[in-house]
Structure 1
Amino acid sequence: MKKVLVLFKNNADLDLIMKSYLCLKKNFGFDIVPLYVRDITYRTPIRETLVNSGSATELLNEIEDESILKVKKALQAYNINKELLIQSEVSAETIKTLLKTADLIMLEEGLSLNELFLELLKILYRPIIILRNKPLSFDNISIVSNDGVKINKSVYNFINLFTSSTIENVHVLTWNCDYEKHYLLELLKNKGINGELINFNSKDDTIKNFYFALGKSSLVIMGNLSRSFFFEKITNRTGLNILENVNTPIFIG
């Protein structure tokens, strides 16, 4: 059985996460490994005077305990009978270790990207699904492609994880990549998936139009951000602008 490591944190949108996991379970048979991250960077802001007082630690722990209880209740409400793992001050190395027995990691991340999340993008050796705004769905899939090795790898991993007759058509969006032949389309065809190529270019389109098209998707597939020439070229920030402008679930393989 495939496993997905799901990260929870304080103030997470629990309905969004639970519905997204159930989508994975129903359509592809994924089992869940739920992990709650106790980390002060996720906690509700506390006044500096309170932090400096002796009651700060106790209050922070109470906030975390309440959040953990909410996650446990949400698991029960959605009939997910799994023990919630709890870790304090989780680092990227901790996540790497937990992923040794998982096929995928999934977490909710806002448009304001935190340091742990950015560190995860650099070291992950398993695919990741980033949730935001709407539950995961495979109804309308888009691929951001420069026809390079990184996006080819992401698509290949995606197909291996989510092989299903229900995925028959995807949109392949490019930026200034009007090639004579797009090899990713051939990979998709060989796997029984029809890819519709849609090219955006800086002469006729704005980058906002590109983001808007991606935002209409139910899921966006991207290449690894840490060393991708394509995303450096269109954003000058190694792809972070896409993460900050596309408010829809994203798969990075």
Structure 2
Amino acid sequence: MPELPEVEVTRLGISPYLINQTIKKVHVHQRQLRWKVPLQVHLSEGLVINDVTRRAKYLFIHTDAGEMVLHLGMSGKMRVVDAQLARKKHDHIEIELHSGKKLVLNDARRFGSCLWQDVRNSQALAMLDNLGPEPLTDDFDNKRLFALSRGRKVPVKSFIMNNAVVVGVGNIYANESLFNTGIDPRRAAGRVSLKRYKLLTQQIKIVLAKAIEHGGTTLRDFAQADGSPGYFAQHLHVYGRVGEECDVCKAPIFSKVIGQRNTFFCKMCQR
């Protein structure tokens, strides 16, 4: 599943082709994605794209009339190509621009989405309610984690993956950040000290920033806007490495399902 760095890399990749361009035509070849694509999406035809932003793992294509809200789901990817290029299998939405380019949303598993938020409607879409702070901003710090964690028995890995606590810390980056901090992912969130949460927030920021810098994590279903894979997988210390030697102590990497997600950690290095 594309995580926050992959979505941010996508935003960086498509933005130069979209900003200040006029939408010529919107082709919706498959309306039934995670949610049915609303007819209002076609209202963007003829409008100028003012900006492309991200909140959590949602991408927003801004116009004066409103925003197209896009999510990549489990297997979605976006690319910018020449408008006359033939449509490929699973290309569900094509946003044609007057520049002669088009933005394509491809989603084999159809768990992604394309919604519309009218500028005249001050009420945010339901899935945007109750989102925590962005992890790479000053709003996310150890004091917030410590305060929210008090009395919580949920594993710390599940805690930091909760979007109400902080957005965008997906499975890969939660595993890596906890390893770098030496925290056992099974430890109850309420049993992590303020000092260790300070180290954890620092590592979350560092790991996510590095992933964005390196182009996202290489996953089977992920590619950048230009079609090339990300290059961060070679820097992973524990994720997907069950049975291999720990980079630090040479003990084997263990795997355990926590919160229905595979979790990778070193029993020697993480306490």
TM-score for the superposition, normalised by structure 2: 0.21
Instruction: Please state which structure has a larger fraction of its residues in helix.
Output: 1
TM-score for the superposition, normalised by structure 1: 0.22
